[in-house]
Structure 1
Amino acid sequence: MTSKRALLTLALVGSALTLHAQHRPTPAARAKPTTAKADPAMAASLTRGAVVYKNVCITCHMADGGGVPNMNPPLIKTEYVLGDKTRLSHIVLAGLAEPIEIDGNDYKQHMPAQAYLTDQQVADVLTYVRNQFGNKASAVQVAEVKAVRATLPK
């Protein structure tokens, strides 16, 4: 009786495995659609930029990029962030002393120059900011930052 039970159990398990295999999607069906391959250089820049943001920018611009009302401007879908990369690089490298208006709100907190950051770090953090917080914009290249740094007084 025990051997009949064992055979019956094996038969049921085998049937279940066969049914399971029949209903599993094929590897092609499981694969995610790839409309465009991810850019590994962009991914690396975003990863490095996140580190710089957390170490340098988060205190004033907050974890969500929302800034502090009337003090530190938001980084969310603003023309400053999504617009001219040269101007944005200049703000990071040289700082910003004058108040600015963004979306009808004035921000008065002085932003100190972050010129101690390398060109790579500036490019990475700006690429990160331009592609976080709901933003979507082109990457900032090291050569672009280097060109801006060359225009700054020594």
Structure 2
Amino acid sequence: MNIKITGLLASFILLFNALHAQTKKQATGPTIAASITNGKVVYTNVCLPCHMADARGVQNMNPPLIKTTYVLGDKATLIKIVLHGFNEDVEINGQSFSNTMGAHDDLTDRQIADVLTYVRNSFGNKASAVKASEVLKARTSAKKQS
């Protein structure tokens, strides 16, 4: 009987550890690889028409997303651009871009985090991931200021 109880206890401990590890993984969000994969889908559906498949943008209209300070710089600024749009003339690599970007506040925090993580780690870019909690913070901050 002691062997049965010991086996049952060992099985319970293994199950508990597996469930705990899964819960911990869900709490921290998807891996960067999963975020990039999901972000590519969002990019294809939302960003590609203006910034193009190669992220080089459209001359004098939509800026490139390749190794620019907007993409690789401050994440909070980039998040705000996606959430609230962008309506400023901007010069990048000696070229001026002047098309208005609409707000994408209809996207979820996770979708914005994923697409920005994708852009910040694609097209030759290499930067830290964007977390959904960072998007939520920017979204909440904007609502408080309104």
TM-score (norm 2): 0.76
Normalized per residue, which structure has more helix?
A: 2
Whether 2:61 is the aligned partner of 1:71: answer yes
4+ runs of 1 displaced by more than 2 Å? none
Deviation at 1:151, TM superposition (A): 2.0
* Structure 1, gaps ≥5 residues long: 1-39
Of 126, 129, 141, 2:116 maps to 126
Structure 1 length normalisation: TM-score?
Answer: 0.73
CA distance in 1, matches of 2:53, 2:85: 20
Pick the structure with greater CA Rg. 1
**Aligned partners of 2:110 and 2:77: how far apart in 1?**
17
1:83 aligned to 65, 73, 76, which one? 73
Note the C-alpha offset of 1:103.
1.6
The two structures, once aligned, show a CA RMSD in angstroms of 1.1
- The C-alpha deviation readout for 1:49-83, integer Å capped at 9, x for no partner, is 00000000000000000000100000000010000
Partners in 1 of 2:93 and 2:137 — Cα distance? 29
Identity of paired residues, percent?
Answer: 60
Choose the corresponding residue for 2:89, options 85, 99, 114. Answer: 99
Residue of 6, 20, 42 corresponding to 1:52: 42
Quote how far apart the aligned CAs of 1:152 are: 1.8
Matched position secondary structure for 2:31: helix
| Counterpart amino acid of residue 109 in structure 2 | D
